[in-house]
Structure 1
């Protein structure tokens, strides 16, 4: 491994953060989730320690790696790139620089005494010190040039569902209404038995990413029934936190929501690609996304065990969480919003 790399850790210096983000913007493997805004959001909302490291050759950044330390008596101690995000790992155009930062991450994991290191790569790696686990897949599609062609590109059966939704007198708006997004999302995930994030998390995302973040809300008779918080980056739209109330199923308002988001992203955000995000393999969300005609692409998450003896399994499909999920589904929504943030900060 060359000796020309120097290691640095990102602080709060604005110029340093701008240099990091400019590198991410101009690197093929740089994603929205590598941006320094996530460091500020995670530190301010969750209080986790961030260890954002980067490699330089001379004065030039050649690789970046966002790392976040999560420590919980219930869920363990981990170093992750990056929690609350579907992608992470090293962003670089240089294999040597990637290996250099992966080794630095392994060193940091041992120094901190974590249970494991997790690097959320969307592509395979060839590092013998890392163990791959492909348990999630991502979905996406190119966006056609107008609304009619976008609709025509949806798989036939799902296209019929969207057409049905268009007859249900639904309205939608796009704005920065993170409160409504949170209200709908929190009830939706309660119904799934999942602890919800704090409301201030959605506010922080909107404040940090401004024009690269918005909310699309679907209403029926002036009542919000579905809502999604989305990100925009490098010509892609990413509906990241979306959900619907109980009546959303009969109204097909979630289907309406995603179709309208596709059209909005194409017409108003100049996006060419719809990134439907990750889902646990063979889960309900996984099967739903396939109905749109999108095929799964495996995510190649990499692990290095430090104190842990086996790879982590925080999936809702883990049998040991089934009783907890059933109990959570019975909680009043207001109580789930109160307790949820105490747990979700370790489940990103």
Structure 2
């Protein structure tokens, strides 16, 4: 393990012996997130076989800053060092601004050494950084009221009417930790991804998320009155937050308003369990999902993604809106579901 001395701090790489102090640091840092947790090193390594470089600063025997980095290398989609791929947040967190910049500096040096196309650091807050900035996404969230009626009242009037409509559709809500709902969830998510023209992850990836993060992950499944599947979502829990992260549905979802029903039930369930913040995740600015989340009454909060270009000459654009992916997306949407489930994981592992 390589150690580089920086004044009175030492930058080291995460080992299994450091998992507990790393996670303790993340959970107690104001900018710490679910996506900074050490478990992502295990999940990403096991699911995708990407090389992970989870760096931390040690000061007087204690962790004083962390930066999870993953190398994603593909002939088709490029070669990058990212904090953190498959996650909406990342970037360095530390005791001081100077230590954040030191971790970034180390990341830039690592990116040069690995000869990647670019380094990408995904921050929730604006940084006083010399790195290139791109603001293409926003996050959404809101405080959770203490009961169902107050939660419903806090939602924007038009969306509140949609939820009231869904409550009349005799939908069932099943929420389970572990793998109990995993098969139904994967079927619905695969259907949704195929319809969007997006390669689905392997089922093993979601199994690894459940295994590594344990009770901090659960899956909600919505069925109609005939017990037929409609919508599902995998939720992450961190400190006082709930994050409905991977969600999808089939053709019945729109008419039944099952996604609206599902997200409302997730909010209510989390509130009952003492969670106080609902993180509705990231959406590309002015996209359909962006407008959908605004309809709930949540205000967009800009995300700050910073880049250091190594071999690349311009900022990356892996967005589905990129014209060069248009034909690929149209072809993917026509694939049989089973075929998309077989081929998808070979591509999605590089779309971090």
C-alpha distance in 2, partners of 1:44/1:196?
17
Pairwise mapping of residues 2-81 of structure 1 onto structure 2 (< 5 A)?
3-11=7-15, 13=16, 15-81=17-83
**What secondary structure is seen at the aligned counterpart in 1 of 2:233?**
strand
Aligned match of 2:236 in 224, 227, 231?
A: 231
Please report how far the alpha carbon of residue 55 of structure 1 lies from its aligned counterpart in structure 2 after TM superposition.
Answer: 0.7
CA displacement 1:174-220 (0-9 Å, x = unmatched):
01312211110110111111000001111111111111100011111
**What secondary structure is seen at the aligned counterpart in 2 of 1:145?**
coil
Structure 2 residue ranges without an equivalent (≥5) = none
C-alpha distance in 2, partners of 1:271/1:296?
21
Partner residue, 1:108: 110
Please tell me whether residue 139 in structure 1 is matched to residue 136 in structure 2: no
Aligned match of 1:328 in 328, 332, 350?
A: 332
Aligned match of 2:252 in 247, 259, 262?
A: 247
Count of residue correspondences: 344
**What secondary structure is seen at the aligned counterpart in 2 of 1:67?**
strand
Please report how far the alpha carbon of residue 226 of structure 1 lies from its aligned counterpart in structure 2 after TM superposition.
Answer: 0.3
C-alpha distance in 1, partners of 2:149/2:92?
39
TM-score (norm 2): 0.96
Q: Point out 4+ residue stretches in structure 1 off by more than 2 angstroms.
A: none
Pairwise mapping of residues 1-348 of structure 1 onto structure 2 (< 5 A)?
3-11=7-15, 13=16, 15-128=17-130, 130-176=131-177, 177-220=181-224, 221-268=226-273, 270-348=274-352
CA displacement 1:283-337 (0-9 Å, x = unmatched):
1111111110011100000000000000000000101111111111111110010
**What secondary structure is seen at the aligned counterpart in 1 of 2:146?**
coil
- Tell me if the contact between 1:118 and 1:302 (Cα under 8 Å) persists in the aligned partners: yes
TM-score (norm 1): 0.97
Please report how far the alpha carbon of residue 2 of structure 1 lies from its aligned counterpart in structure 2 after TM superposition.
Answer: 6.6
CA displacement 1:54-78 (0-9 Å, x = unmatched):
1111201111000000000000100
C-alpha distance in 1, partners of 2:228/2:70?
38
C-alpha distance in 2, partners of 1:243/1:93?
38
C-alpha distance in 2, partners of 1:330/1:61?
50
**What secondary structure is seen at the aligned counterpart in 1 of 2:317?**
coil
- Tell me if the contact between 1:175 and 1:214 (Cα under 8 Å) persists in the aligned partners: yes
- Tell me if the contact between 1:29 and 1:93 (Cα under 8 Å) persists in the aligned partners: no
Structure 1 residue ranges without an equivalent (≥5) = none
C-alpha distance in 2, partners of 1:203/1:17?
20
- Tell me if the contact between 1:2 and 1:96 (Cα under 8 Å) persists in the aligned partners: no
Moved more, 67-76 or 215-224: 215-224
Please report how far the alpha carbon of residue 93 of structure 1 lies from its aligned counterpart in structure 2 after TM superposition.
Answer: 2.8
CA displacement 1:139-178 (0-9 Å, x = unmatched):
0111111001101111000000000000001011101312
Moved more, 25-34 or 100-109: 25-34
C-alpha distance in 2, partners of 1:286/1:242?
15
- Tell me if the contact between 1:30 and 1:92 (Cα under 8 Å) persists in the aligned partners: no
**What secondary structure is seen at the aligned counterpart in 2 of 1:227?**
strand
